[in-house]
Structure 1
């Protein structure tokens, strides 16, 4: 079923605190009951031309189809207008999901439904929205309020309970990484390495938004190898075109797989 999380990074200014980044991350496992699994399934998405990122948990087929349709329409300027605010953009996404779900055979939705996250930025303001369809068979949409501290803002999926159990360690004022963006990733990495839920697994996959630019796709360095969307990159690719992070969420060189020169070392 999956584990999906979202978190924010907050700049600690002298006189105020300001959100500087938002992330959506997931495991990479598609599963068919307890018998079959595939650890290279895409669960996070984003626009390369506009500041919009998405992720989902629950049923795999419907959300992956819908997001596979929505992203190209955003990229080509079809779904959003140039002056749309965050609420308007999300309402357009919600309306698209709703009209598609109206004609979808709901008896084939696995795990009783799905959750789709949509994070957006207008100017330098970030917003996160959640669309859900559950056992009550009602499609709902809600904005998630963002705090002024670097922390998780959403967790979901069958791996949620294990993540939240681990999160108690980092969400402690006595921890070295309390109140930091990297703490969330540390917890995600540990959870996936120790996960007991058979429907959750594989390597993390991450997309994010900063104050400027559009979707950031992050490569993951683990076990001295490079991964994107859970798949080891064995092909000859242009690795420098995206950011890479190691298990400590440190900026990492895709060439020698070591922390980038000048990148801040992060305590564990």
Structure 2
């Protein structure tokens, strides 16, 4: 299964960022696992990010296709709004699944889609499939302050129980608290369907979807896969387990970057 979560960051005036993060483990009923699976996606030519949990193969196939369609500017009409893009993505996912053998799907699929219009109009929609209901689409409320938007997957209860402890700390409802809680949960999670390194995509007020590199247990990871060597020409933004801005080459905090306190000492 998965631990999949999304949240927004808000400054004193407006929503400044939105994120989707997950673990990296694919697991099977026979106990086998693969800890390098991609579960989150950032579109390069539009301000949209997505992540999934549940069935693995179908979402991987369709979201990868949508990613490339967006890259080559054939997915969305020019100047389409965030809600128009949401409907286009949902239609693509729903229509293609009609040709996919239902017997090969897991019990459910859930996909988070966060989309932005202008600089501050963020929306979040959940696409869900079950054999009983087929595909449904629902809008998820965006919080008024920095906080989680939704938590999904088999690991959600372990995450949330630990997050209650983070909420009691000085960091409270912040992006760093949510990401720290994800890393903390994955380090000693009891649900063996979840594991591997955290992976992260995001949206700022400007620009399109963004992938992040993660320094986790002093190793580099990019969308679930380990990066052994990094060229100096890379301009990827890196974060560590505390959500501090890191240098991906040296694996040290960037000069001038703000330190992020950690109340629970992961």
Specify the TM-score bucket, using the shorter chain as the normaliser. Answer: over 0.9
Q: Does 1:28 align with 2:24?
A: yes
- Alpha-carbon offset, residue 165 of structure 1: 0.9
- Alpha-carbon offset, residue 220 of structure 1: 0.8
- Alpha-carbon offset, residue 149 of structure 1: 0.9
SS at match of 1:240: coil
**Kept in 2: contact 1:18–1:148 (CA 8 A):** no
SS at match of 2:196: coil
Query: In the alignment, which residue of structure 2 is the partner of 1:257?
Result: 251
- Alpha-carbon offset, residue 57 of structure 1: 0.2
Among 150, 153, 156, the residue aligned to 2:149: 153
Offset from partner CA, 1:9-66 (integer Å, 9 cap, x none): 0012xxxx41110000000001112521111000001112221111000000111111
Query: In the alignment, which residue of structure 2 is the partner of 1:221?
Result: 215
Unaligned runs of 5+ in 2: none
- For residues 28 and 264 of structure 1, what CA distance do their matches in structure 2 show? 27
> RMSD of the TM alignment (CA)?
1.4
Q: Does 1:87 align with 2:90?
A: no
**Kept in 2: contact 1:52–1:215 (CA 8 A):** yes
SS at match of 2:253: coil
Shift in alpha-carbon separation, 1:170–1:201, aligned structure 2, 3 A:
same
Among 160, 163, 180, the residue aligned to 2:159: 163
Query: In the alignment, which residue of structure 2 is the partner of 1:56?
Result: 52
- Alpha-carbon offset, residue 241 of structure 1: 1.6
SS at match of 1:252: strand
- For residues 159 and 165 of structure 2, what CA distance do their matches in structure 1 show? 10
- For residues 219 and 94 of structure 2, what CA distance do their matches in structure 1 show? 40
- For residues 218 and 164 of structure 2, what CA distance do their matches in structure 1 show? 28
- For residues 94 and 131 of structure 2, what CA distance do their matches in structure 1 show? 16
Q: Kindly tell me the number of residue pairs found equivalent between the two proteins.
A: 261
**Kept in 1: contact 2:230–2:248 (CA 8 A):** no
- TM (normalized to structure 1)? 0.93
- Alpha-carbon offset, residue 71 of structure 1: 1.2
Query: In the alignment, which residue of structure 1 is the partner of 2:6?
Result: 6
SS at match of 2:95: helix
List structure 1 runs of 4+ shifted beyond 6 angstroms.
none
Q: Does 1:240 align with 2:234?
A: yes
| Aligned residue runs from structure 1 range 184-199, under 5 A | 184-199=178-193
Shift in alpha-carbon separation, 1:9–1:34, aligned structure 2, 3 A:
farther
- TM (normalized to structure 2)? 0.94
Q: Does 1:205 align with 2:199?
A: yes
- Alpha-carbon offset, residue 236 of structure 1: 4.6
